[in-house]
Amino acid sequence: MSSVTVSVPAKVNLQLAVGGVRPDGFHELVSVFHAVSLYDEVTVTPADRLSLTCEGEDIDEVPLDHGNLAARAAILLADRLGREPNVRIHIRKGIPVAGGMAGGSADAAATLLACDTLWRGDTPREMLRRLGAELGSDVPFSDLGGTAIGTGRGERLASVPTTARFHWVFALADGGLSTPAVYGECDRLREVAGVRVERPAPREELIAALRAGDAYALGAGLVNDLQPAALSLRPALAATLAAGMAAGAVGSLVSGSGPTCAFLAPDRDTAQVVAERLIESGTCRAARVAFGAVPGARVLPRRVVPVERENTV
């Protein structure tokens, strides 16, 4: 086999309920994950040694060393299969970098699946997800896709079957936000305010809205406990959220740890209008229209690269 390409979606958290800090330093979570149609593509090709290449917008913030979750995924799987991780990993970024949309986790999930396919590991998907959880809390969901409730530190998943399609707009910000920094700010704000941290639980109205395919009810139910922390670190996001709502969105929230802002639209045309108005408002760097839920990581059929022909008549 010469190479394998895997496509993997971004995620937005429809609900992110953050509980107390566990003994391992992670927060107890309830996260309603929703996979949306912004994709990274990861291609792995046999090579003499492990290497990484990357293409796309804003790739300066993507580490091209062992700090990259994709590289760590290849090393982890190779170790399990008792072989060397000798592949070239090429990442084509379509998911905002450091944007709170699980781009790094998506690349890790895609690399696990791509390498397992290339190396004919035949590792069951459930086992790949378990390996993924060792790399990051969001990696198992990037593999699963759809809509799912994550518990524990976000890695224990239960799918929420829904046939509805929801239309989203994502407002991209300049520069990323560090996930640990946002969790840290969340803890700090809670301590300052003397907030008693509740045990996180899924919102029933939100799950009912998902099942019913009711965008208005879903929009009203969106909630992210990390939002005050993201806004505290990046106050300008408040203007982005307001601009999207003024443009016709039926719900908004900061995506994960941010700084990407997510807007739910009642239909595709409105999503387009919201995206245009957001750009006109000058409160974001770019806007992307997407829909959800979409499936998780999947191997793409091999691309046949057309042979270029030239002929002087």
Question: Site for ligand C5P (CB under 6 A): how many residues?
Answer: 11
Residue 128 CA to residue 112 CA, distance in Å, equals 7
Q: Any idea which residues carry the catalytic annotation?
A: 11, 138
Touching ligand C5P, residues 117-136 (CB under 6 A) = 136
For residue 70, the minimal CB distance to ligand C5P (Å) is: 13
> 109 with 297: CB under 8 angstroms?
yes
7 binds ligand C5P (CB under 6 A): no
Touching ligand C5P, residues 49-88 (CB under 6 A) = none
CB atoms within 10 A of CB 247: 21
Instruction: Indicate the residue type of 210.
Output: L
3-state SS, residue 16: strand
Touching ligand C5P, residues 11-30 (CB under 6 A) = 26-27, 29
Pick the closer one to ligand C5P by CB: 187 or 267.
187
Q: What is the DSSP string of 166-206?
A: EEEEEEEPSS---HHHHHHHHHHHHHHHTPPPPPP---HHH
| Interface pattern 164-203 for ligand C5P (x via CB under 6 A) | ---------------xx--x--------------------
Pick the closer one to ligand C5P by CB: 27 or 34.
27
Phi-psi region of 22 (alpha: psi -120 to 50; beta: other; left: phi over 0): beta
For residue 269, the minimal CB distance to ligand C5P (Å) is: 35
For residue 152, the minimal CB distance to ligand C5P (Å) is: 8
- Helix/strand/coil percentages in the chain, nearest 5: 35, 30, 35
Angle between helices 69-81 and 125-135 (to 10 degrees): 130
For residue 184, the minimal CB distance to ligand C5P (Å) is: 7
Name the token pair of 71: 């590289």
For residue 180, the minimal CB distance to ligand C5P (Å) is: 3
301 binds ligand C5P (CB under 6 A): no
Q: Which residues bind ligand C5P (CB under 6 A)?
A: 26-27, 29, 136-138, 153-154, 179-180, 183
